[in-house]
Every structure is written in structure tokens, then in C-alpha cells.
A = this chain, B = another copy of it.
């Protein structure tokens, strides 16, 4: 990034967390990512066009990976690099991981049922999880994590820290990315382990729960993890913008917008508004505001 006075220039920005969706929605939103970014890491909690969404939980095979990459490339053209992820499963073998490694940037862990399309996720306490993480460590495959437990909504990320700590200790060479962190607790944990990394969204650098539910209720700022307390916002901003304060974490933090579009009728609804903020097309404006 170059910076001169009040202006700054981003060279080849990359979005390290995006939901391209699939089908018609993908055709609309993937080009918006490509308009702003030179590449992006696509999340795997999606069943690509041509696969059976009643049986598949997400991208769990090389065939699905290839189909999904093709769907993205077809929508965005050549000047954009989609980086692929696989949906973590405890059934993955060494042979499978060796075969799939050249085709992916990372494997994404979803706690079962914690967010949109995560019913096929795993229990972080399952001992089988660690076995796959150890294989990934050996093979040099990056782990991305949606780090929330069940329990009270404002405590879910804080309570997941124990899992990050355990995995970081047990697999010291495994590169672990704490996705879309939102709390002071996460910044503290990130600072303590050399092999922990993190993404932060632009909206979590701008809003707290006050913006979602402090005045009128705002479904378009509702996302998972939910925006937290003012002290959490300040901690995230310090980590990203005050190099002097948080030297040990700044180089481990990446931008990941977690851009997650929903149809309007699923955001403005009586029976439950879906979680997700879509912002891949306006993210640099957001950043400039911060």
C-alpha cells in the first residue's frame, strides 16, 4: 500500500475471505469481487452447480473443487485469481490430502451448525479433528477456521479461544487462520502463538452491536460473528492501524471481507433475517472511512 497525505493506493489487493455463492447469485457477485480485487479466497460452504445440495455439505472433493473454480472463472474472466478451499471433514486421509493439496490454498473448519451452510461441520472437541490437523501440518496445508462455539452469542468467539490454543500448541507448524475475528480476546490469542494468523472484515473495523441493535434493528449489519463491544472494536483497530502498539500481530492480519450476500427477502424477514454483510464491491471505501 502506498500512502501520500490523505490518499492511499492499494496494489493488487486480495480478499482472503469471500462467499462467491453459486449459480445465478455467483454470476452477480463474483464480478463485484473481481472489480475490486486481483484475487480472493472462496469459502467452501457451498454446493456448486451440478452437484446435489440435498446430500453434499460443501466442497469436499477434487471434482467439486474443479467445478466450482470453473464456475467462478466463467463469471469473472481472466484478470482475477480465485483461491480455493476445501470443507474440513474428519474422514480426509493422507492420500486424499496429498492429491488435493496442489488445487487448494487452505482447508476451512466449520463448527457444526454455527453459521450459514455449516450443518456438515465438525465438533471441535472430536479427537478425530486433531488427527486430520496433524496430517495437514505434515503436508503444509493451511487451516482456516470459523472460530465460534455454541452458547451465548456475545461469548462464542471468546470461548473458541481454547480450541485455537490447543491446536496451535499441538500442531506448532500448522498455519492456522482465525477467520473474521471480532474481539479483544482474539487479538490477545493471536499475539501469543507464532503459528496463528487472522483475517478481519472491514465491517468489524466499523461497527459494534450498537449499529446492529442499539437504535433501530439493522438486518443488513447482522452477521456471524456478530459485531461486539466498543472495546473490541478499538482493539481490532489498534491491531490494524497502530503499528507501534501491536507490532507482533500486524503482519499476521489479512483483509477478509466475509462478503456474504443474501436475497433481500432473506435479510428483511419476519421469521428470521439471515446473517451476512455483502461488501466486496465497496470495501475500499469502507477501509478509507476507517
Residues of A within 8 A of B (CB): 152-154, 208-210, 212-220, 222, 226, 229-230, 264, 267-275
- Do A270 and B275 have beta carbons less than 8 Å apart? no
- Do A270 and B219 have beta carbons less than 8 Å apart? yes
Query: Nearest CB to that of A215 among chain B residues?
Result: B272
- Of the candidates B154, B217, B267, B269, the one whose C-beta lies within 8 Å of that of A272 is B217
* 4 more A-B residue pairs beyond the given contacts A153-B213, A217-B275, A220-B270, with a C-beta to C-beta distance below 8 A: A153-B214, A213-B213, A213-B226, A216-B274
A210-B270 contact, Cβ under 8 Å, with A217-B219, A222-B217, A275-B217: no
Query: Nearest CB to that of A229 among chain B residues?
Result: B152
Q: How near does chain B come to A189, taking the closest CB pair, in angstroms?
A: 22
Provide the bound-state CA to CA distance between A271 and B270, in Å.
15
A-B contacts, 16 of them at CB < 8 A, read A152-B209, A152-B214, A152-B229, A153-B209, A154-B229, A213-B226, A216-B271, A216-B274, A217-B272, A217-B274, A218-B272, A218-B273, A219-B270, A219-B273, A268-B268, A268-B269
A270-B274 contact, Cβ under 8 Å, with A153-B210, A229-B152, A229-B154: no
Q: Secondary structure at chain A's binding surface: helix, strand, loop or mixed?
A: loop
List of B residues within 8 angstroms of A215 by Cβ: 272
A154-B209 contact, Cβ under 8 Å, with A264-B270, A268-B270, A270-B267: yes
List of B residues within 8 angstroms of A220 by Cβ: 270
Q: How near does chain B come to A233, taking the closest CB pair, in angstroms?
A: 10
- Do B153 and A217 have beta carbons less than 8 Å apart? no
A212-B213 contact, Cβ under 8 Å, with A229-B152, A268-B268: yes
List of B residues within 8 angstroms of A208 by Cβ: 152
List of B residues within 8 angstroms of A230 by Cβ: 152
Query: Nearest CB to that of A230 among chain B residues?
Result: B152
Query: Nearest CB to that of A269 among chain B residues?
Result: B268
Q: How near does chain B come to A16, taking the closest CB pair, in angstroms?
A: 26
List of B residues within 8 angstroms of A218 by Cβ: 272-273
Query: Nearest CB to that of A155 among chain B residues?
Result: B229
Provide the bound-state CA to CA distance between A107 and B154, in Å.
36
Q: How near does chain B come to A206, taking the closest CB pair, in angstroms?
A: 15
List of B residues within 8 angstroms of A217 by Cβ: 217, 219, 222, 272-275
